[in-house]
Structure 1
Amino acid sequence: MSADQEMLALLSGSIERYTTDHYDFQKRHAVLKGAQSYSEQAWRDYAEFGWLALTLGEDFGGLDADTTTLGPLMEVVGHRMLMEPILSSAVIGTRLVSLLGSAEQKDQILPTLIDGSVKLAVLDPGTPRFQWLTASKNRLTGTAPMVLHGDVADKFVMPAKDADGELQVYVVAAQNCSRKRYRLVDGRGAASVNFEGVVAQRLGTSNSAETVEAVLADVADEAVVALCGETFGIVRALVGATADYLKVRKQFGKALGANQALQHRMADMYMIQQEVGALTKAARLSMNQSHADRARIISGARSYIGRTARIVGNEAVQMHGGIGITEELDVSHYFRRLIVNAVLLGSLDHHFENFVKLTLASSKSQH
């Protein structure tokens, strides 16, 4: 469902108010330095506010949210650098369970996702990484070397090839796996997960490989668009922080913002922010098209947004000077978040190559 502008404004306002009051940089820093890689209290709050059910249908108390409805949430995820597994659990994992699971599986799993008692971690959908895992008689074998939020997951949602070589999606309880937990460069948790013939529950009993592949492609597109929204939130935060800094930081008796060269650089950053916002919107709107028609738009947006966001990050660090790389300033944390996001859900190079390939194919078909 695509929400109207009034509902989007209300959702955006409530998310912004909560994070302003309860998830500012200092409180996030406390989470970053804690034993857990996320805030348990924040996760409970998200469940209470209904954020974890946004992608579900009304039968489960959700909004059946599309990428436009998810936009305000994902932008705040970036703007506040939320540490919780919203993308992996509340967006990707929940969507896969709701689209592929049987009625019994949905009744069993979805309520635990809505109330936050279960967190999901997912191997990137839509990428060739599923080739690392194989399934035989509902037992999963293989190693997933980097699973975002795999350190805190209660269940894993894993695509794997079955004994017939067909792709299916399985749910595995975390206690049945062995995992090596670690922190990524931006502070979020991850894990290398080893599946040694562990018991797995296949999602759905009659899903064909073609159906599974189509669902994975759709959910992968939704996830990429959500990540574009998160990156847009980061870009807005960096542009705002840098503009504020240039207004108050003085050198030789004048604010840095009085320097014309820095004004030009700020103008370039602002233009990038506008471009990122426009491409994010275009990617969201393209989800109304078929996968074949939207793939070029989404890959092009993902590649351009990822690369230009890095330019904004570089400029923000440089214009803040030496403090731009310190642990105590949020700019360095945004920069690190961009580094990690650049390799999620397909690399920027992969999406650029896909964009070029699809553009050339489209051009040939028109002639």
Structure 2
Amino acid sequence: MDFDFTDDQLALRDAVARWVDKGFGFERRHHLAKAGGATRAVWQELADLGLTGLAVPSEHGGMGFGAVEAMVVMEELGTGLVNAPFAAGALVAPALLQAAPAEVQAEWLPRIAERSALVVLAHQERAARYRLHHVSTQAQRSGDQWLLTGSKSVVPAGDEADAFIVPARLSGAVDATDGIGLFLVRPGTAGCSVRGHATQDGARAAELLLQACAATLVCEQGFEVLEEAVDIGIAALCAEGVGLMGKLTAITVDYMNTRKQFGTTLASFQALRHRIADVKMQLELARSMSYYASLKLGEPAPARRRALSQAKVQLGQSARFVGQQCIQLHGGIGVTDEYIASHYFKRLTMLEMQFGDTLHHLGEVSTRMQDTAGVFG
């Protein structure tokens, strides 16, 4: 199989890398995090590069690129530790909106492509434990409109978003896969309360409370659409994680080549060199599974879902190992807020929890291994 990138994909990678080098240094990132994590301005700069239209179909003003291009962009954003809601707003949201009626698509997809709108998925509920089908938020028809009642937690960039896509139950039990609809909610609508807060990795999230809040129907049979969009989000996280781990490893190697102990550099100690070799092995395992995840996004749902869970398991294991080893190799400076490595470690820790932690996805892989005991069988 040919894993070489095309010329267009390499050009896209270079364009993002140049912006990261010139426009998003650690000093800017650290300032944004200390100021509360608001990154709408960063989102608009990514839009100026044309990146917010990456996954938007061309008929709606976007570029209509696929999973590999998204992976290339996310890896570079991870390398630069860019804390903008790019995956949420430019990859996950367009996938959900493409299931909407034509008039809803025409209203929102061009606005995403041209940077004037940030739409994010608000799906997590307190008792769900990462189960997408656990939806207690209720949707009721009232005349010619839908009213939603319920709450959602840890909505990415929730207090900066222009709209939310909210799964809500039309019928059935709270854990049923049938009867889940997707709705679009605008902040500021009567009955919609948004409470923003900073996150540990220097970004922002919000708690969303809906009390008979008017919403626009995206689709009535929304569970499969939600699954596919979340898989797109997982693939994006895997690519971002590869960028984060690659940069953190490079920072650690550079530190070991300059920091001296007992009159010689840390890099001269064989035991520490072996630990870096183990770190690089985990990085390459994560990279290969990131490629695997992106390539499997076009597969039928059963194969796709298992592949993405496998990739998320490897991401969690690699992120934990690489993060902990690199911080330990730095010593005390590695956990200080003023030093760049600590911020990479925080973001890697957050990635492990998003869209299901390692134990959750290990269970998903186990459940889907029906006919074989081999992980890749």
TM-score by length of 1: 0.92
Question: Alignment partner for residue 189 of structure 1, among 204, 207, 210?
Answer: 204
Please report how far the alpha carbon of residue 115 of structure 1 lies from its aligned counterpart in structure 2 after TM superposition: 2.1
Q: Give the partner amino acid of 1:61.
A: G
Matched, 1:162 2:175: no
Q: Tell me if the contact between 2:91 and 2:233 (Cα under 8 Å) persists in the aligned partners.
A: yes
Asked if residue 229 in structure 1 is aligned to residue 239 in structure 2, the reply is yes
Among 154, 158, 167, the alignment partner of 1:146 is: 154
Q: Write the distance in 1 (CA, Å) between the matches of 2:242 and 2:319.
A: 8
Distance across 1 between alignment mates of 2:152 and 2:225 = 21
Q: Does residue 323 of structure 2 align to residue 280 of structure 1?
A: no
1:31–1:39 Cα contact (<8 Å) kept: no
Aligned ranges 1:191-340 → 2 under 5 Å: 191-203=206-218, 207-209=219-221, 212-340=222-350
CA contact (8 A) 2:60 2:106 kept: no
Q: CA deviation at 1:63?
A: 2.7
CA–CA distance in structure 2, aligned partners of residues 71 and 101 of structure 1: 25
1:154-209 Cα shifts (integer Å, max 9, x gaps) = 21110111257721111111112212211111111011110011110111xxx452
For 2:299, what is the secondary structure of its paired residue? coil
Q: Say if 1:129 and 1:287 are closer, same or farther in 2 by CA, change over 3 A.
A: closer
Structure 2 residue aligned with 1:109: 108
What are the equivalent positions in structure 2 for 1:70-149 lying under 5 Å apart? 70-97=70-97, 99-124=98-123, 127-128=131-132, 131-137=135-141, 138-149=146-157
Task: Tell me which amino acid in the other structure corresponds to 1:92.
Answer: V
- Residue 173 in structure 1 maps to residue 182 in structure 2: no
Closer, same or farther: CA 132–330 of 1 in aligned 2, 3 Å = farther
Is the Cα contact below 8 Å between 2:319 and 2:349 reproduced in 1? no
Q: Is the 8 A contact 1:179 1:191 kept in 2?
A: yes
The answer to whether structure 1 residue 341 and structure 2 residue 351 are counterparts is: yes
Instruction: Please tell me whether the aligned partners of residues 32 and 38 of structure 1 are also in contact (alpha carbons under 8 angstroms).
Output: no
Distance in 1 between residues matched to 2:232 and 2:281, nearest whole Å: 26
Root-mean-square deviation over aligned CA pairs: 2.1
| Distance in 2 between residues matched to 1:287 and 1:145, nearest whole Å | 26
Tell me, in whole angstroms, the C-alpha distance in 2 between the residues paired with 1:293 and 1:145: 29
Question: CA offsets, 1:8-36, max 9 Å, x none?
Answer: 10000000000100001111111112255
**Shift of residue 237 of structure 1?**
1.0
Q: Alpha-carbon deviation of 1:65? A: 2.1
Q: Does 1:20 align with 2:2?
A: no
Report deviation, 1:363.
4.5
Select between 42-51 and 251-260 the one with higher mean Cα deviation: 42-51
* Cα deviation, residue 128, structure 1: 2.9
Matched letter for residue 136 of structure 1: Q
- Between 246-255 and 117-126, the greater mean CA deviation after superposition: 117-126
Aligned counterparts of 1:233 and 1:129: Cα–Cα separation in 2: 31
- State the Cα deviation string for residues 274-298 of structure 1 (Å, max 9, x = none): 1111111111112232111222222
Question: 1:130 and 1:158, CA in 2 relative to 1: closer, same or farther beyond 3 A?
Answer: farther
Give the fraction of aligned pairs with identical amino acids, expressed as a percent: 27
Structure 2: gaps of 5 or more residues: 125-129, 173-177
Q: Indicate the residue corresponding to 1:29 in structure 2.
A: 30
CA distance in 1, matches of 2:163, 2:202: 21
Separation in structure 1 between the aligned mates of residue 103 and residue 153 of structure 2, nearest angstrom: 31
Secondary structure (helix, strand or coil) at the match of 2:274 reads: helix
- Describe the shift of the 1:200–1:45 C-alpha distance in structure 2 as closer, same or farther (beyond 3 A): same
Q: Which SS does the other structure have where 1:175 is aligned? A: coil
Q: For residue 183 of structure 2, give the secondary structure of its aligned residue in structure 1.
A: strand
CA contact (8 A) 1:132 1:144 kept: no
- Contact kept, 8 Å, 1:39 with 1:83, in 2: the verdict is no
d(CA) in 2 for partners of 1:309 and 1:79? 14
Q: Cα distance 1:292–1:362, how it changes in 2: closer, same or farther (>3 A)?
A: farther
Residue 3 of structure 1: how far off its partner (Å):
11
Matches of 2:123 and 2:253, distance apart in 1: 36
Asked if structure 1 preserves the Cα contact closer than 8 Å seen for 2:182 and 2:220, the reply is: no
Give 5+ residue unaligned stretches, structure 1.
none
Distance 1:27 1:324 in 2: 19
Aligned residues: 357
Of 13-22 and 162-171, the range deviating more from structure 2: 162-171
